[in-house]
Amino acid sequence: MTAKQATIFVVEDDDVDFKLLMRAFDKRKIANVVVRAVDGIDALEKLRSGEVSKPFIILLDINMPRMDGQEFLKEIRQDPEHQDTVVFLVTTSKEDEDIRQGFSQHVAGYFLKDNVAGSLDKIVDVINGYWQIVVLPE
């Protein structure tokens, strides 16, 4: 059985960070389908409408308008359809509370965008390796 390629669902409000992330994917010739949402409300709408095809991995920013990443994470963890979704937090927040809160909601990883271009390259390397060896739920 061949594993289906994972969709990458990026929930990121910052256009520059999103473009840098896409460049990091391009540099590594990663051709997975990418769907973007600009905040938690937009992300919920895209998930519930079926716009994001399974299997998928979410790369989630924390600091966003309307509904931030932590609020979005709590919402999907209460939804039986999406409670087992693989989520990586990709954020500038170094706050202990954000880190604790993320892991209490069962994130797969917490990545800092401290030196954005360099750190995004490393994050993409980790994500690329992850979905190649992990079996994701359909």
Instruction: Give pLDDT tens digits for 33-89.
Output: 999 999 999 999 999 999 998 888 999 999 999 999 999 999 999 999 898 899 999
pLDDT at 2: 41
**CB-based contact 124:29 (threshold 8 Å):** no
Q: Which amino acid, residue 103?
A: F
**CATH number of the CATH domain containing 58:** 3.40.50.2300
Asked, for residue 22, whether it belongs to a domain, the answer is: yes
Structural domain boundaries enclosing 90:
7-133
Of 67, 75, 7, give the one whose Cα is nearest residue 38: 67
pLDDT at 137: 66
pLDDT at 129: 81
Q: For residue 3, is pLDDT > 70? A: no
Total number of domains constituting the chain: 1
Contacts of 85 by beta carbon, 8 Å cutoff, 6+ apart: 56, 58, 76
Asked, for residue 88, whether it belongs to a domain, the answer is: yes
